[in-house]
Amino acid sequence: MRLRNDLKITGLILAGGLARRMGGGDKGLQPFRGKALVAHALERLAPQVDKLIINANQNRPAYEAFGYPVVADTLGGFAGPLAGVHAGLAICSTPLLLSAPCDSPFLPLDLASRLRAQLIVSGAQLAVARSGDRAQLVIALIRRELQDSLSSFLDGGGHKVETWYAELNVIEVPFADEAAFANINTLEELRRLEARSEP
């Protein structure tokens, strides 16, 4: 099935993790360049998509204050990014869902358009961004109809993103600017990126 290039996209910011490498707590609400880390990801993605959702499992009022719907994992125990994608797909009302982590403040401004274009050309089920020598596994454009596939995968005990992708027709879309995919996993990385000039 080919997709028209005018099909709408819902953006999903994944902020549901435990941020263990940051000492626990809520990574998305960490201050970064004068505002919460998640605010940067929201601002980068908002102009590119038709709707936005935030996946968060704690501090719901703080996330709701950004003005977008907030959805929690339906699976218990902070089950990883696929649990957030699963929750997003469950309420997604557009044909496509674009997932991205809350800890990537410099996402490309042409991310959605380039992923969608390659999804159309290839006829793939899912398009994932690639920078440098690795795929950015949680930065992916996903067909809404993959919800049943993901539900079955999670119900069967699966949790690794790459294992689910191995069951699908996936295309990797290269992006030349590796700095645009910089992500923040520790307080040291946060301080280093905060001090660096814009990518």
Query: In this structure, are residues 27 and 184 in contact, taking their beta carbons and an 8 Å threshold?
Result: yes
Q: Higher model confidence: residue 199 or residue 6? A: 6
Between CA 162 and CA 16 the distance in angstroms is 19
Does domain 9-194 fall under CATH 3.40.190.10? My reply is: no
pLDDT at 197: 57
Between CA 53 and CA 38 the distance in angstroms is 12
pLDDT tens track for 24-68: 568 899 999 889 999 999 999 999 999 999 999 999 999 999 999
> What do you get for the CA distance between the two ends of the chain, in Å?
37
Q: Where are the domains of the chain?
A: 9-194
Length of the chain: 199
pTM of the model: 0.91
pLDDT tens track for 112-158: 999 999 999 999 999 999 998 999 999 999 999 999 999 999 999 99
